[in-house]
């Protein structure tokens, strides 16, 4: 038995031991894999819960709804507007902690109403190396993290997802739109809409892994290293510049280091 299969078996045994679960479901690579595996192990003792907010693009919500419908999984959508949380819109360094505390408290309420024993979420071993205050909220609320329990990393989750025939196996990584702002810069619905529209443009142009970081009047674009040559083509550059100015940015810049997770954390000491 290879190591990845052993980890997968451990994951299934762990999920079986939980009995019944509410799964925090964002339609991303990790939560989709976790949800489908939980369904295979626990059947109808699984409920997917997705948070609807202005920092969660409609395209992601639609994918979540389509997946649960296609796989016969009960799906509950809760309104979880981060901007209503005291202090969140000022974008403090513990912004993610504030958000996760509020979100998982609501998912716990859903689990209680449904008679489900546990709440689980999809962080994996690759999430352990960066500044992620949201994990502290998960620990405090005693939310289970099965993928970390099974010692699975992102590449392994993608590989297993491919073997399971999940459409998300090669989906780009995504984080909530609030992560596109430097700490201390206020977050508003209007700014979130600008980021969402800018990233949607890049996705529509065929770029797979994108981030548009919002620096006041400047948009700092991150794309995967393999796509930097493509974005530097004259026609593409002019199109992006023109469209982002229409969205509301004054300046448009390309990050020379390309896409990387947590680039806003580089300002932290």
Strand partners, 46: 21
Q: What is the DSSP letter of 220?
A: E
Q: At 261, which helix (H) or strand (E)?
A: none
Q: Which residues contact 236 (CB under 8 A, 6 or more apart)?
A: 205, 230
Give me the residue label for tokens 């964002």: 26
Q: At 43, which helix (H) or strand (E)?
A: none
Give dist(CA 200, CA 267) in Å, integer.
26
Nearest Cα neighbor of 55 from 90, 79, 31, 75 is 79
Beta strands in 100-242 (DSSP E): 118-120, 210-215, 218-223
Q: What is the DSSP string of 163-179?
A: HHT-GGGGPPP---GGG
What amino acid positions are annotated as catalytic residues?
176
Phi and psi, residue 95, nearest 5°: -50, -45
């Amino acid at each position: 038995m290879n190591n990845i299969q052993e980890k997968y078996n451990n994951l299934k045994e762990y999920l079986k031991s939980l009995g019944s679960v509410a799964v925090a479901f964002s339609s991303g690579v990790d939560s989709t894999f976790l949800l489908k595996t939980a369904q295979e192990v626990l059947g109808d003792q699984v409920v997917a819960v997705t948070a609807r907010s202005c920092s969660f693009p409609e395209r992601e919500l639609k994918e979540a709804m389509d997946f649960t419908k296609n796989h016969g999984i009960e799906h509950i959508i809760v309104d979880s507007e981060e901007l209503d949380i005291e202090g969140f819109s000022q974008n403090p360094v513990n912004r993610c902690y504030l958000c996760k505390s509020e979100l998982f408290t609501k998912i716990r309420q859903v689990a209680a109403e449904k008679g489900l024993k546990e709440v689980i979420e999809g962080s994996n071993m690759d999430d352990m190396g960066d500044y992620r205050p949201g994990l502290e909220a998960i620990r405090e609320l005693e939310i289970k993290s099965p993928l970390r329990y099974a010692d699975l990393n992102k590449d392994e989750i993608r590989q297993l997802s491919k073997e399971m025939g999940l459409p998300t196996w090669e989906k780009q990584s995504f984080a909530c739109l609030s992560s596109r702002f430097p700490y201390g810069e206020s977050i508003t619905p209007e700014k979130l809409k600008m980021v969402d529209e800018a990233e949607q443009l890049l996705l529509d142009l065929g770029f797979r892994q994108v981030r548009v970081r919002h620096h006041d009047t400047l948009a700092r674009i991150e794309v995967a290293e393999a796509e930097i040559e493509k974005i530097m083509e004259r026609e593409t550059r002019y199109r992006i510049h023109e469209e982002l100015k229409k969205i509301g940015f004054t300046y448009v810049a390309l990050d020379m280091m390309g896409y990387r997770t947590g680039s806003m954390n580089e300002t932290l000491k």
